[in-house]
């Protein structure tokens, strides 16, 4: 997003509630997530590729700048059009994407340590990560409780309503678990390290159990009703988010357990990271295959561009980081090769979606309210005319 695009975005958001509504929901922060995971995965890749770290630095700076721009734009939107902004929290689809901002903050924060510490210094990187991780964790605890509560008590849900977006508000605690593990080495007190470690593992379970429930509902919806064959299809890739992030979290907690708990328990956590990670990686491969097949089937009919396309980035990225962790833990060349292939796919997806987003933002198409009603699942092919 250029400076000119930022001014245009701010000008549009500077409209009153009486003016035509501007569509600027929390789903915009998925662009930060998808951008921020690219440099982290690139730096962690178990291969030495010339120029890769330098490129990762540039992309991290882009993600950090985008986080700042979107945060300011969101504040302006809430100040200028509070009634329109409040509606997102009551919309059964858009409310789910309130999970994106906390994950965006934590993704950029983790990148500060993993990617940017060579530019800004380790102390500054750690301090920045503490701030962004704390903001993201608090926000994530709010989304994981408030959004499901509203879903249970006040939102009208169709029988075919379960979709990948339902995972967005419940994944942030898993991101807190994985990115928080990077901060354990920077906690001075032994008792505080142990408390934080077990708290991170509790966040791991908080997110994992609910994610498995939601994934089951998505599987059931696909089996009974089929795909929507619409712009909602890319959200199927969000399922890879909690899977890949949990593999990453288990690996990082296992790798850092010795900093916080006695040796026998630390060894158990290291063993758990493999016993858990490898089977979940197998499920990730299965789901990626199914999601790819459904996405290609939809694209042959009609797959309009929208911000849901960012679902092709962050979930794939955390699956790559999970694969990298398994490569480090098992020493298997197969996982190293798989992580390299995954990174190539991630960079290709990010470049495609980033260019499409920039073009659409320049035309202001992404700031218009979405047309049509809720996506309807069906198994028969949908025509382009009915693809909304």
Closest CA to 70 of 100, 111, 94: 100
373 falls within a domain: no
387 falls within a domain: no
41 falls within a domain: yes
Number of folded domains in the chain?
A: 1
pLDDT higher than 70, residue 40: yes
Q: Which long-range contacts (CB under 8 A, 24 or more apart) does 280-289 make?
A: 280/243, 280/246, 280/247, 280/322, 281/247, 281/322, 281/323, 281/326, 283/243, 284/240, 284/243, 284/244, 284/247, 284/319, 284/322, 287/239, 287/240, 287/243, 288/237, 288/240, 288/316, 288/319
19 falls within a domain: yes
- 311: domain CATH number? 1.50.10.150
204 falls within a domain: yes
211-252 pLDDT, tens digit per residue, is 999 999 999 999 999 887 777 899 999 999 999 999 999 999
Q: Give the least confident one: 35-39, 222-226, 358-362.
A: 358-362
299-351 pLDDT, tens digit per residue, is 998 898 999 999 999 999 999 999 999 999 999 999 999 999 999 999 999 99
Does the pTM of the predicted model rise above 0.75? yes
173-208 pLDDT, tens digit per residue, is 999 999 999 999 999 999 999 999 999 999 999 999
**Domain of 93?**
3-368
377 falls within a domain: no
Dihedral pair phi/psi, residue 227, rounded to 5°: -90, 160
Handedness of CA 19, 375, 75, 90 (dihedral sign): positive
79 falls within a domain: yes
Average pLDDT, rounded, for the chain: 90
111-134 pLDDT, tens digit per residue, is 999 999 999 999 999 999 999 999
| Predicted pLDDT of residue 12 | 46
383 falls within a domain: no
| Predicted pLDDT of residue 381 | 54
């Amino acid at each position: 997003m250029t400076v000119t695009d930022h001014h245009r975005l701010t000008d549009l958001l500077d409209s009153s509630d009486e003016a035509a509504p501007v569509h600027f929901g929390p789903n915009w922060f998925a662009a930060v997530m998808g951008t921020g995971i690219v440099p982290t995965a690139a730096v962690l890749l178990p291969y030495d590729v010339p120029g890769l770290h330098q490129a990762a630095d540039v992309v991290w700076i882009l993600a950090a700048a985008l986080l700042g721009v979107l945060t300011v734009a969101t504040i302006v939107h809430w100040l200028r059009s509070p009634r329109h902004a409040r509606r997102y929290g009551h919309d059964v689809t858009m409310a789910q994407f309130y999970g994106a901002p906390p994950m965006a903050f934590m993704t950029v924060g983790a990148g500060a340590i993993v990617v940017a510490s060579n530019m800004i210094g380790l102390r500054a990187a750690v301090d920045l990560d503490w701030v962004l991780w704390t903001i993201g964790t608090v926000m994530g605890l709010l989304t994981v409780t408030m959004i499901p509560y509203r879903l249970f008590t006040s939102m009208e849900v169709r029988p075919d309503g379960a979709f990948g977006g339902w995972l967005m508000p419940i994944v942030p605690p898993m991101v807190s678990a994985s990115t928080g593990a990077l901060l354990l080495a920077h906690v001075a007190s032994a008792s505080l390290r142990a408390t934080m470690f077990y708290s991170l593992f509790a966040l791991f379970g908080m997110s994992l159990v609910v994610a498995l429930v939601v994934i089951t509902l998505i599987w059931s919806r696909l089996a009974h009703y089929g795909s929507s064959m619409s712009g909602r299809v890319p959200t199927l890739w969000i399922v890879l988010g909690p899977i890949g992030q949990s593999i990453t979290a288990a690996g990082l907690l296992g790798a850092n357990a010795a900093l916080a708990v006695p040796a026998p328990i630390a060894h158990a956590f290291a063993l758990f990271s493999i016993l858990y990670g490898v089977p979940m990686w197998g499920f990730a491969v299965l789901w990626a295959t199914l999601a790819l097949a459904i996405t290609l089937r939809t694209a042959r009919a009609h797959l309009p561009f929208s911000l849901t396309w960012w679902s092709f980035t962050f979930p794939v990225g955390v699956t790559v980081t999970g694969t990298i962790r398994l490569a480090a833990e098992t020493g298997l060349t197969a996982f190293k090769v798989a992580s390299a292939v995954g990174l190539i796919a991630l960079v290709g997806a990010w470049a495609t979606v980033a260019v499409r987003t920039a073009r659409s933002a320049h035309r202001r198409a992404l700031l218009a309210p979405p047309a049509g009603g809720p996506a309807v699942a069906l198994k028969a092919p949908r025509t382009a005319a009915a693809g909304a």
